[in-house]
Structure 1
């Protein structure tokens, strides 16, 4: 009677011969092994049969883009107006509004977007979003951070974490908060305290600059 090890070696012998054979013989050996009526092959075939019966009745989940309206095509000529969508987590501040230009506080610097701008993705930092129309500034928002997606069809999507109209901020409160965070930064002893204070200095410093607030 064969021991367990001898039985295992004998069953593996055909595969070993295949592995040490030339290319054509090796492929034929593996094909022959795959055709054998083993428990594994039976299970695979049973699964395939059941799947072929179930799959046609499955209602697969929809992906987000399937629920979105299709993007307008790129016009043959540059349009006169820029279409802007400005979205916050809690509201849509601008929905397909036609304007002359927007100026974005990108991490690389202030970025002006006009109709026909090259497609771009820009990360935004704390600063002022200016919307221009009719030769004047239509509105200004102070935003914390986010991204702007400039598309080839003169549509710009602006998605931010927080934003508010610039005229809602109290200059005195901004000055006070900036001073408080500067004090926290100078007295911080841990990396976490320094990082939190630096964020406050950056945000309120940008807001103070936008409002023309001096220390």
Structure 2
């Protein structure tokens, strides 16, 4: 199968620069599957998992916290607010963040920013799921 280059970049620097056969990501409009020669496009991404399929059906999972995906025929670039490969995720820290966000959402305090707490919860759950290999 034909391969193409994928770059995942954050404000802190590059996270992934590799050749793959398939990229799967969750855009605002739904799930995207991209192969070599895909029509050029730009799409906003949700908090979710980017799956990179290399030769031999091997996959690599990357947790992202939103951003944009740009597709060119021989290149896919993901500009993410934050991104972590599964093997680089500190799962204990992610679970602690999940517990803190859940506690904030359950609190009765008036000064809690519920939208921010919901986003923190989604990011933490996403990181735990990527670490555990769940899509």
Which TM-score band (shorter chain)? 0.7 to 0.9
Say which of 81, 84, 90 aligns to 1:161.
81
TM-aligned CA deviation for residue 138 of structure 1: 4.7
* In structure 1, C-alpha distance between the alignment counterparts of 2:132 and 2:19, rounded to whole Å: 29
In structure 2, the partner of 1:87 is 9
Change in CA separation of 1:194 and 1:164 when aligned onto 2, cut-off 3 Å: same
Unaligned runs of 5+ in 1: 1-78
Q: Is the 8 A contact 1:87 1:159 kept in 2?
A: yes
Q: Higher relative contact order at CA 8 Å, sep ≥6: structure 1 or structure 2?
A: 2
Aligned residues: 133
Match of 1:145 in 2: 66
Runs of 4+ deviating beyond 4 Å: none
Q: Are the aligned partners of 2:69 and 2:76 in contact in 1 as well (CA < 8 Å)?
A: yes
1:2-41 aligned within 5 A = none
Give RMSD over aligned pairs: 2.5
* Greater per-residue helix proportion: 1
Of 98-107 and 190-199, deviating more is 190-199
Mark the CA change 1:147 to 1:191 in structure 2 (over 3 Å): closer, same or farther. farther
**TM-score, normalising length: structure 1:** 0.53
Please give the alpha-carbon distance, in whole angstroms, between the structure 2 residues aligned to 1:209 and 1:203. Answer: 10
Give the match for residue 47 of structure 2.
126
CA shift at 1:191, angstroms? 7.0
Query: Normalised by the size of structure 2, how large is the TM-score?
Result: 0.80
Q: Report what 2:96 is aligned to.
A: 176
**Structure 2: 5+ residue stretches without partners:** none
CA contact (8 A) 1:84 1:157 kept: yes
Which is richer in strand?
2
